[in-house]
Structure 1
Amino acid sequence: MKVNSLDGLAAVQRVLRERRRRAEEEAARRAAEEAARRREHELFERSVGPVVRLRSRNLAEIVRPRPLPHPRQRELDEAEVMRVALSDEFDPESLMETDDQLSYRQSGIGDDVLKKLRRGVWVTQGQIDLHGLNRDAAREALAGFLIDAGKRGWRCVRVVHGKGLGSPGRQPVLKGKVRSWLVQRQEVLAFTQARGPDGGAGALIVLLDSSRSPDGRLR
């Protein structure tokens, strides 16, 4: 019995020694980690100066929905394509109707479309006013407007170019330019001078093909 008691005591001592060894190793590991954190903290303080912890205000953290990404660069690219595509060298006279309103319709578009456009059968869904803009600014604004109209799926729009009464020599510079630019666009099916209440000789009513994308491709 005495021998067995001594063996059991020795086993207990071995277990205790192993526990002490593990505890000492764990304490040493924690001390090393704490020392490393202090060194990093001291290095940070030497770099940026003393740091004061902000007082907790116990405010709720609200997750706000982020705005959807806006394809600004793509819009700029499309506007540039439109600007380049609208040439000032193009002569639209051969494509115009020979009436006093210089109306226009694409090949394959019947004359009844122009008649309806003149009568105001289609409601205008949007408009752009180019008053006061020079040629380049007006061309860019019109390009952007056509892009936006295509994205919105608009079918009938009004383009106000003015009568040119304020231009040098009282010549309507934009009036002819706007017609020339519109004729070059595939999505422009037809246009005609607006009726008196809608701007008369200072505006155009434009019929658009909503099945075409802003860059002229079918979608």
Structure 2
Amino acid sequence: MQEDDDFSLFAQEVQGIRPMKKTEVYLGKKQGGVDFTERKIAAQVAKVEDRNHLSKDYVERVDPDDMLEYKKDGVQDGVFKRLRQGKYGIESRLDLHRRTVEQARREVFQFVEDCMRHDIRVGIIVHGKGDRTPDPLEQATIKSFINKWLRDLDDVMAFHTAQRHHGGLGAVYVLFRKSEKARLENWERHQKR
């Protein structure tokens, strides 16, 4: 009779507990209660920030003098070569000098979103070489994160260290994915031929 034993054990444990009166139930902010408005606002802000999936926890370090390059499958070699040579017009620019890693993370994410919203195909991010930091373990921190973050963003098709006149080893050209609108315009242009 396990059930009887459980019931009697339960009855012993709750002995002396009285039900609450309806007036004792907390229904809001009365009598110094908790204000959930701040929590609600914080949750909404956190939800917006959650869209930014770029990590600032760990990054494989690059050297201040390393060249950065990356291209996704599907990017034509000729397109990547023109990007590498700086032959595309730069339509947008982001300068990350004197930024913390967290500030850079937010700004890079927003920069890519803005470029996509405005149908920008090529931008440049100036991250600096990071060679002026005396501690060798802290050198090229932002550059290292740029190398990781741009690979993690679906809208970035390719990037390459800029030509000297655009910032050299302290900057990267970024090729963005074509927007649906630009793709449709391109398709229509080729259909008329």
- Scaled by the length of structure 2, the TM-score of the pair is 0.60
- Counterparts of 1:126 and 1:77, CA distance in 2: 28
Residue matched to 1:211: 179
Where in structure 2 are the equivalents of 1:98-113 lying within 5 Å? 101-113=67-79
Partner of residue 143 from structure 1, selected from 104, 109, 131: 109
Larger Rg: 1
Residue 142 of structure 1: SS of its match in structure 2?
Answer: helix
From the superposition, tell whether residues 204 and 79 of structure 1 become closer, same or farther in structure 2 (CA, over 3 Å): farther
TM-align CA RMSD: 2.6
Residue matched to 1:182: 150
- Provide structure 1 residue ranges, at least 5 long, that are not aligned to the other structure: 1-75, 94-99, 214-219
Whichever structure has more helix as a proportion of its residues is 1
- Counterparts of 2:70 and 2:48, CA distance in 1: 24
- Scaled by the length of structure 1, the TM-score of the pair is 0.54
1:115 maps to 2:115: no
Where in structure 2 are the equivalents of 1:40-189 lying within 5 Å? 80-83=49-52, 85-88=53-56, 101-169=67-135, 171-189=139-157
Identity %: 32
- Counterparts of 1:196 and 1:206, CA distance in 2: 16
- Counterparts of 1:179 and 1:212, CA distance in 2: 26
Q: How many residues align?
A: 131
Q: Compute the displacement of 1:103 (Å).
A: 0.7
* Larger mean Cα displacement after TM superposition, 104-113 or 121-130: 104-113
Residue 205 of structure 1: SS of its match in structure 2?
Answer: strand
After superposing on structure 2, the runs of 4+ consecutive aligned residues of structure 1 that deviate more than 3 Å are 76-79, 88-93
